[in-house]
Amino acid sequence: MAEDYYTREEDNYEDEELDQTSFKSVKDAVLFAIDISSSMLTPRPSPDPKKHGDESPASAALKCAYHLMQQRIVSNPHDMIGVLLYGTKLSKFYDENEDDQEDLSYPHCYLYTDLDVPSAQEVKHLRSLTSPADGDDDVRQILEPSKEPVSMANMLFCANQIFTSKAPNFSSRRLFVVTDNDNPHADNKAMRSAATVRARDLYDLGVNIELFPISQSDHEFDTSKFYDDIIYKTSPSDGDAPAYLQPDTNASTGKGDGLTLLNSLLSSINSRSVPRRSLFSNVPLEIGPDFKISVNGYLLLKKQEPARSCFIWQGGETAQIAQGVTTLMSDETGQEIDKSSIRKAYKFGGEQVSFSIEEQQALRNFGDPVIRIIGFKPLSALPFWANVKHPSFIYPSEEGYIGSTRVFSALHQKLLDSEKLALVWFIPRRNASPVLAAMIAGAEKIDENGVQKIPPGMWIIALPFADDVRQNPDSKINRAGDALNNAMRDVIRQLQLPKAIYDPSKYPNPSLQWHYRILQAIALDEDFPESPDDKTVPKYRQVHKRAGDYILKWAEELNLQASEMFDGSAATSTLVKRGAKTEPASDHPPKRVKIEDSAPGVEDEVKKCFDKGTVSKLTMVVLKEFLHSHGRATAGKKADLVERVEQYFEQKL
């Protein structure tokens, strides 16, 4: 219960307030522009025949778009995405007549998925395009390249119009261009300069063009031929954000087989999937009295929760979400009241102690936003347990103080080299509650595709106050002997994770994914998936194979030490029944390495009753104990418990 309460509470507490200084709405729109040429459509076979990697660059790009679309439904439910194919034989743009291929504004541009928050149908529609092999004729027709070249200027203006009409006033608009053609208008200077002009329009509109170049087998993609004239350092709407100029080295050399190409493209697109939004901007980092630099704050790690449930009205043609309207009423008169007349008061001594709005604000005010260094400590001074929430990330900005970046960099390097942390007094926003925090330097991390995984910068870790530290409850310590520790060490050595690190990207949140997977199935009226693809479930077979023997050794040792230490008292204790092993180890190998908390034989007893169909004859105590030891809920009436026990055995069979 408490756990649940906590996470909900946290939501309100951690107000992910974004900078609302601009007139723009803080939303992101991504339009994919995917080049459909014959080279883009040619599958790149895998050298390893066992891998089904005959991916063409185009299908890899479409899969990435599909992947991003699904991902955004989960993580950015209000942001838009669209897919524009160009170089296609067919053309499609809003209500223009497809059959009349003569009079088109944007020939060979095919707006496959309109720029919008995707609907379930659109997800399905895009999915059908990702596997053209088993797609129908329509799909094949759409993916037929045009014989004449497409005008890049036209494609860019087409994108311009899509952004202008569908995503007006968005703070972030991005055009993801995926192509293997580094010189589209090699021999036509006029078309080339028309394209540069249209690219400038996009820049002035605040659209950021991001290029995902794919090298062809015979030559490297060379951006200097054309795209350096198209792409700008920063988008004007993102003026203060430092440009990330490092090319994704491996992505552009995606010369290998289709699968490698798909993976490097995915990783490259993933790294740009979220628009960069700051948590706070230009907050002074006060290094010493009268010495400040400016930094921006970001949330790079934040628990992603499923969207809240809502109420849906199904009386019309399409189901729609009903908007809840809350009205406030006076308890005294029952009349509706205006928000402005509300006063806040605290319950005290049977009455209310109230403060005016100004006083209420004054109480919350501990000064202007600041990150103020009050001293340094060795990194080792930060205990593992001293944590209360996710960290904030900061990166220097030249907006408030010129020279911030170099000073920040010097501090960053010093803290890394000396393994120190800075103790800071941290007020992220006006009227935010101040915290004492540890500021630690984080080094840049690059993944195997050369794409940045963790940016360089500093992390601010809020420390608990004395009020937030709980006392350890009493616990009886029975220290294990060396032999037992050694036996456990052998087990641990067998079961290290790859590279002995925790890599979050390997573990999608199973309940979040399942939630949206089911919603998708309901929305598209498809069959539910059989079982979830849950990467967090431990690999039981591997544990058994790799460490099984060591575990048995450990169990034997545990048994030995237990009987020595507790001298049979454990065996007779009513709480510790069948210890790790009560059967003589020599006779038959241990059946269960289990430190039971249930009465002896509860397991067997319940099983026996199940076989005889007499589970309902068992007492509540036994049923509860059995269910609890199998991680099942123990609440409810006896009938519920019996049903749950029966379910357990039925599932096992």
Indicate the SS3 state at residue 434: coil
* CB-nearer residue toward another protein: 261 or 627: 627
Q: Which residues pair with 437 in a beta bridge?
A: 424, 462
CA 226, CA 182: separation in Å to the nearest integer?
Answer: 6
The least CB distance from residue 46 to another protein, in Å, is: 25
389 catalytic per annotation = no
* CB-nearer residue toward another protein: 368 or 611: 368
Q: Which residues of 439-461 are buried (b: 16+ CB within 10 A; e: fewer)?
A: bbbbeeeebebbbebeeebbbbb
* CB-nearer residue toward another protein: 436 or 620: 436
Q: Tokens in use for 322?
A: 């009903």
CA 579, CA 555: separation in Å to the nearest integer?
Answer: 10
* CB-nearer residue toward another protein: 139 or 488: 488
* CB-nearer residue toward another protein: 74 or 262: 74
CA 261, CA 251: separation in Å to the nearest integer?
Answer: 7
CA 440, CA 418: separation in Å to the nearest integer?
Answer: 11
CA 364, CA 431: separation in Å to the nearest integer?
Answer: 5
CA 608, CA 604: separation in Å to the nearest integer?
Answer: 6
* CB-nearer residue toward another protein: 50 or 340: 340
Residue 215, Ramachandran bin (φ over 0: left; ψ between -120 and 50: alpha; else beta): beta
CA 319, CA 62: separation in Å to the nearest integer?
Answer: 29
CA 4, CA 544: separation in Å to the nearest integer?
Answer: 33
The least CB distance from residue 44 to another protein, in Å, is: 26
Ordered DSSP codes for 55-73: B-HHHHHHHHHHHHHHHHH
The least CB distance from residue 620 to another protein, in Å, is: 17
The least CB distance from residue 279 to another protein, in Å, is: 11
Helix (H) or strand (E) holding 266: helix 258-270
Phi, psi of 639 (to 5 degrees): -60, -40
* CB-nearer residue toward another protein: 103 or 311: 311
CA 55, CA 494: separation in Å to the nearest integer?
Answer: 37
Neighbours of 254 (CB within 10 A): 27
Residue 183, Ramachandran bin (φ over 0: left; ψ between -120 and 50: alpha; else beta): beta
Residues 453/446, Cβ–Cβ less than 8 Å: yes
Active-site choice (24, 124, 225, 302): 24
Q: What is the DSSP letter of 92?
A: B
* CB-nearer residue toward another protein: 44 or 198: 198
The least CB distance from residue 224 to another protein, in Å, is: 7
Phi, psi of 83 (to 5 degrees): -130, 120
Q: What is the DSSP letter of 44?
A: B
* CB-nearer residue toward another protein: 78 or 219: 78
Phi, psi of 627 (to 5 degrees): -65, -45
Q: Which residues pair with 81 in a beta bridge?
A: 30, 116
Q: Between the CA atoms of 190, 196, 202 and 206, what dihedral angle is there, to the nearest 10 degrees? A: -160
Indicate the SS3 state at residue 194: helix
Ordered DSSP codes for 533-570: --TTS--HHHIIIIIHHHHHHHHHHHHHHHHHHHTTHH
Name, in order, each residue with C-beta under 8 angstroms of 517's C-beta and a sequence gap of 6 or more: 529, 532
The least CB distance from residue 79 to another protein, in Å, is: 10
Phi, psi of 624 (to 5 degrees): -65, -45
* CB-nearer residue toward another protein: 46 or 376: 376
* CB-nearer residue toward another protein: 45 or 168: 168
CA 48, CA 31: separation in Å to the nearest integer?
Answer: 34
Residues annotated as catalytic (active site), given as ranges:
24
